[in-house]
A and B are shown apart, each in its own frame.
Chain A
């Protein structure tokens, strides 16, 4: 579904990503993990069109991705849920969700979208008239994920969804993401902690210093003693 080949990118003259290649097949939950500040978020920003890659190629549903505007990419069904939620603080929950359906084709179906999201997160329906700034951390995360599901989302890229959440909420969140990956859209996850995702991931890429240093299924990575001690701290 998503194929990334040899992408390099950075900010100004500082190179962050070097020759990153990976693949996200439809219906699988793929995770990029590795320490913070090593390029995971930058990779998502490139794929969403927020910044340009220096070199390399990427395709989404067999069509080239790089060089497209963020608006085109969202319209094609590749949606990023950014780190730290980035909700629209002074809009209500409902208005935040509606913004998720900004793409014209989705706007026509915004009421069905709201229904779908409220079925997934009933709490958001109770809070629909409240300003986003008044939500709790867990509710904010639900609102951000719900916003990402308001359009015709085929692939949902989620950046560090566990950040700042209480452990009990983290478990709940990951089972929701698992559910989403089965019923709503393929999920591509960026997550610092391998522990959080080992029970739900189908395939894992390890990223360090802007490079993919290893990849494999969870079982294969757990079986590799060296990887476990060096990267996963286990």
Chain B
């Protein structure tokens, strides 16, 4: 029983990180209608941002967390300005596919740069909060509890922003009706930048939270990106709430399968589930209504 509970808890924790990572994909898909393949890079960059402060100055990962958010927001906006904006509204190109390729190129460049600057070896940062606590036979690290709290605060803050503020509402408005948003005075370019900044910042948080569990290296964003895509396909692009549910489902599948079936089994099992879902519900689990966005 306690093995099961342990797996359950770590599934929820990993799911929370995937949610942070994938909500950014959903937000950007909502406004730009393309998959930002550089999303995983922000996870890697977030980790390095915290690492640099820790290694160079011995600063706490908490300061690293804040710094990582700022840095990854800048990288998000830079991706938009350099690799996406020049393609928006161009005639005779398939924007979705072209932007997909150009953001994939961005991610390869960023990995190569990280290799040049930081070298190939895997590094790590200490957890935000050290130590463990035993509740009902289940050993919880304070880090896991901290991850859950941070993810909850970040996602609740995002929801508040999207529902109650002028700029937050404009993000949803653009996702739901481009022309109508422009007709009330929304500048779509600003919204693209804003969504890319949010996507970057959320992935940056995920990067700092993941770093003590896994490692930071030039390709440490690749696996989270792959998981993010799996979550996005499972959820059906477009709905933020659906994305969050799907992230927790994937987290649980991952942790339960590696506990009960064996390490290395989780990816094949996830892909099998994805194929099954795509055959039965081509729009994903939560993508039933195509218009049901954000």
Q: Are A88 and B185 in contact (CB under 8 A)?
A: no
User: Taking A86-B177, A102-B166 as contacts, is the C-beta distance between A48 and B183 under 8 angstroms?
Assistant: yes
Q: Chain B residues with Cβ under 8 A from A89's Cβ?
A: 176-177, 291
User: Taking A69-B187, A147-B184, A151-B185 as contacts, is the C-beta distance between A99 and B179 under 8 angstroms?
Assistant: no
- Which one, B52-60, B167-175, B224-232, is touching chain A? B167-175
Task: Flag whether A74 is at the interface (Cβ < 8 A).
Answer: yes
Q: A71-B182, A102-B170, A151-B185 are in contact. List 19 more A-B contacts (CB 8 A).
A: A48-B183, A50-B183, A69-B187, A70-B185, A74-B183, A82-B183, A86-B177, A86-B179, A88-B172, A88-B176, A88-B180, A91-B172, A91-B173, A99-B170, A99-B181, A99-B184, A102-B166, A102-B169, A133-B291
Q: Are B169 and A98 in contact (CB under 8 A)?
A: yes
Which residues of chain B from 237 to 293 have a CB within 8 Å of any chain A CB? 291-293
**Interchain CA distance A89-B180 in the complex, whole Å:** 11
Chain A: minimal CB distance from B18 (Å): 24
**Interchain CA distance A209-B103 in the complex, whole Å:** 44
User: Taking A95-B163, A99-B169, A99-B173 as contacts, is the C-beta distance between A87 and B180 under 8 angstroms?
Assistant: yes
Task: Flag whether A100 is at the interface (Cβ < 8 A).
Answer: yes
Task: Flag whether A115 is at the interface (Cβ < 8 A).
Answer: no
**Interchain CA distance A103-B173 in the complex, whole Å:** 14
Task: Flag whether A107 is at the interface (Cβ < 8 A).
Answer: yes
Chain B: minimal CB distance from A197 (Å): 22
Task: Flag whether B81 is at the interface (Cβ < 8 A).
Answer: no
Which chain B residue shows the least CB distance to A132?
B176
Chain B: minimal CB distance from A62 (Å): 21
Which chain B residue shows the least CB distance to A144?
B180
Task: Count A interface residues, CB 8 Å.
Answer: 26
Q: Are B182 and A70 in contact (CB under 8 A)?
A: yes
Q: Chain A residues with Cβ under 8 A from B185's Cβ?
A: 70-71, 74-75, 102-103, 151
Chain A CB within 10 Å, residue with most, of B163, B179, B185, B291: B185
Task: Count B interface residues, CB 8 Å.
Answer: 21
Q: Chain A residues with Cβ under 8 A from B170's Cβ?
A: 99, 102
User: Taking A90-B293, A95-B163, A107-B166 as contacts, is the C-beta distance between A70 and B180 under 8 angstroms?
Assistant: no
Which residues of chain A from 73 to 128 have a CB within 8 Å of any chain B CB? 74-75, 79-80, 82, 86-91, 95, 98-100, 102-103, 107
Q: Which of A69, A82, A90 contacts B176 (CB 8 A)?
A: A90
Chain A: minimal CB distance from B240 (Å): 11
Which chain A residue shows the least CB distance to B91?
A12
Q: Chain A residues with Cβ under 8 A from B173's Cβ?
A: 88, 91, 99, 102
Q: Chain A residues with Cβ under 8 A from B177's Cβ?
A: 86-89
The 0/1 profile, CB within 8 Å of A marked 1, for residues 174-212 of chain B is 001101111111110000000000000000000000000
**Interchain CA distance A75-B294 in the complex, whole Å:** 27
Q: Are A100 and B169 in contact (CB under 8 A)?
A: no
Which residues of chain A from 41 to 66 have a CB within 8 Å of any chain B CB? 48, 50
Q: Are A80 and B172 in contact (CB under 8 A)?
A: no
The 0/1 profile, CB within 8 Å of B marked 1, for residues 177-216 of chain A is 0000000000000000000000000000000000000000
Which chain A residue shows the least CB distance to B178?
A86
Chain A: minimal CB distance from B191 (Å): 11
**Interchain CA distance A90-B174 in the complex, whole Å:** 12
A-B pairs, 5 with minimum CB distance: A86-B180, A74-B185, A71-B185, A88-B176, A70-B182
Chain A: minimal CB distance from B139 (Å): 42
Which chain B residue shows the least CB distance to A88?
B176
Which chain A residue shows the least CB distance to B239?
A90
Q: Which of A50, A75, A103 contacts B182 (CB 8 A)?
A: A50
Chain A: minimal CB distance from B242 (Å): 12
Q: Chain B residues with Cβ under 8 A from A100's Cβ?
A: 184
Which chain A residue shows the least CB distance to B180?
A86
Q: Are B172 and A102 in contact (CB under 8 A)?
A: no
Which chain B residue shows the least CB distance to A100?
B184
Q: Which of A87, A90, A102, A147 contacts B294 (CB 8 A)?
A: A90
User: Taking A91-B169, A95-B169, A98-B169 as contacts, is the C-beta distance between A74 and B176 under 8 angstroms?
Assistant: no
